[in-house]
Amino acid sequence: MFKFNTVAMIGLGYIGLPTATVLASRGVKVIGVDVNQHAVDTINRGKVHIVEPDLDGLVHHVVKEGNLVARTTPQEADAFIIAVPTPFMDGHKPDLSYIEAAARAIAPVLRQGNLIILESTSPVGATEQLAGWLAEYRTDLSFPQQAGDSADVQLAYCPERVLPGHVLRELVENDRIVGGMTTKAAEMAADLYQIFVRGECLLTDSRTAEMAKLTENSFRDVNIAFANELSLISDKLGINVWELIELANRHPRVNILKPGPGVGGHCIAVDPWFIVDSAPKEARIIRTAREVNDNKPHHVIEQVARAADRFKNPVIACLGLSFKADIDDLRESPAMDIVVDLAGRDLGRVLVVEPHIDKLPAKLEGKVEFVAADEAIEQADIVLLLVDHKQFKRVRREKLQTRVVIDTRGFFWSR
């Protein structure tokens, strides 16, 4: 059993901060590291810079107890967990620059016996690439590709698999895939996660663990694409897709997901491209699913444009900006992309409702009006439901009867 008294969390975003906080709540001294000075200052005041249920109270507690402190630069620790962004560049090529920057940042403070865990969703081989960078920066230490189980510093890959809005619970309850570059690395990483994980830690190698994460999200992407493609076909044939799916799902072995305006978030909208990049000839279904989901926002925009033609100067109320319901996360949000496009088309006045943010993102400032739901619907000729926030349940159906309603989530439909 390996002991970890101090853990450094590199990246204090939607995954890094909750993970650091849960570890700290188990009595581990956690050093949170982030380049965002505002995030660091906010956390050190016992507050949070992101929205996640119950996270604020737990952060306040662990900071007050002295088990979590945030910094802009790393310091020595027993283990380092890296949870930084992994976007893609032009051509859907993986961008590992944030991981490389994390490697440069932690290299000076590494010491013999350290464990480094990469949590960022990454293409296959990223953990090995991380180990390669570290070996360049610290030629005085050995790494798994050089010395295997005898290496001075061990590396593992352990992907997160949590649902925004339920992160604190799922961090503890969900099984974890723990992929080591060596057997020793996997065992060390499992010991660390078992400090707070009640689910099972499933040990494998780092490349399989990387592929497992990509596979999970690609599976979901393919199934969402099927639902989105059904919605396109149903629109063309004059069929209510929500009724269609409800009826089809009465088959005991059919479980079709609900369509939407596209796919958002950092994971599902990005990860399948990592597989396509690694095996472009073989990943045919995965590529097609990505293209279907990437094109769905354009279909929604065309629906709005056709509806706008009925009016001289329409008011278009857009309900929701986040990538999914009841959170503030706008990353890779199809709703956001749709509203940005509509704002630049001069179709009419665009009103935006997003109850989980305090102000419009910079790309929408001065181009749309930020209003409450009741005000938006009162003024609207066209109501575009993009996100199924629970607050929108309060919208009275009679208010919608005289409006053109484009419901991308089936939120207002019922049999």
Reply yes or no on whether 213 is catalytic. yes
Q: What number of other Cβ atoms are within 10 A of residue 37's Cβ?
A: 10
User: Among 170, 192, 183, 216, which residue's Cα sits nearest to residue 117?
Assistant: 192
71 Rama sector, left if φ>0, alpha if ψ -120 to 50, beta otherwise: beta
Q: Which positions ≥6 away from 264 have C-beta within 8 Å?
A: 322, 323, 324, 331, 332, 333, 334, 335, 336
Query: What values do phi and psi take at 387, rounded to 5?
Result: -135, 135
Cα–Cα dist 326/329, whole Å: 9
The Cα–Cα gap between 248 and 139 comes to 60
In 3-state terms, what secondary structure has residue 198? Answer: coil
d(CA 354, CA 253): 37
For β-strands 404-407 and 29-33, DSSP reports them as: unpaired
Could you say which of 158, 201, 258, 267 is catalytic? 267
> Encoding tokens for residue 283?
């990943």
Do 10 and 84 contact (CB within 8 A), yes or no?
Answer: yes
Instruction: Label residues 56-81 b or e (16+ Cβ within 10 Å = b).
Output: eebbbebbeeebbbbeeebeebbbbb
Catalytic annotation present for 318: no
Per DSSP, 90 falls in state G
| Token pair recorded at residue 116 | 């480094």
Q: One of 213, 258, 296, 324 is an active-site residue; which one? A: 213
Question: Which helix (H) or strand (E) element contains residue 98?
Answer: helix 97-106
Which of the residues are catalytic? 213, 267
